[in-house]
Amino acid sequence: MPNVTFIEHDGTVHTVEAELGATVMETALKNDVSSIVAECGGGCTCATCMVYVDDAWMALVGPPSADEEYQLDSAFEVKPTSRLSCQIKITEALDGLIVRTPAYQGR
């Protein structure tokens, strides 16, 4: 199974195994990455699962869809590498993915 590394804003690092086809958000919740809130449970409607994709991975992960970009309007400290983790699906190609989490998801 592919690995994903979450680096939380306080420096806590979680390197975890991720199920193929699952989302980065689901992977975070399964592994107690507490700075991913995911209030809407993966509906792309709440913007509380934002991550900053590591620069080296941004090209592979790709930009947000228009719908996701709209949702990012209700997130804070949005950067060019911001993505909603519920919208990133784990593939073999993402083995080793690194994402960072913000200090605040709106709650």
Partner 1 sequence: MSDTIKTDVLIIGAGPVGLFAVFELGLLDIKAHLVDILDKVGGQCAELYPEKPIYDIPGIPLITGHGLSEALMEQIKPFHPTFHLGEMVTTIEKIGDPLFLVTTDTGKTFECKSVVIAAGGGSFQPKRPPIAGIEPYEDKSVFYAVRRMENFRGKDIMIVGGGDSALDWTLNLQPIAKRLTLVHRRDDFRGAPDSVNKMRALVAAGSMDLRIGQVSELEGADGQLAAASIKDKDGAVTRVACDAMLPFFGLTMKLGPVAGWSLEMDDELVKVDVSTFETNRPGIFAIGDINTYPGKLKLILSGFHEGALMAQKVHHYVYPEKRLVFQYTTSSTSLQKKLGVV
Out of 16, 22, 58, 78, point to the residue binding partner 1 (CB under 8 A): 78
CA distance 74 to 21: 26
Instruction: Tell whether residue 54 is a contact of partner 1 (CB under 8 A).
Output: no
Instruction: Tell whether residue 38 is a contact of partner 1 (CB under 8 A).
Output: no
Instruction: Tell whether residue 40 is a contact of partner 1 (CB under 8 A).
Output: yes
Q: Where are the beta strands (DSSP E) in the chain?
A: 3-7, 13-17, 50-53, 82-84, 97-100
Q: Which residue has the tokens 């992960």?
A: 61
- What are the residues binding partner 1 (CB under 8 A)? 39-40, 43, 45-48, 69-70, 72-78, 80, 103-104, 106-107
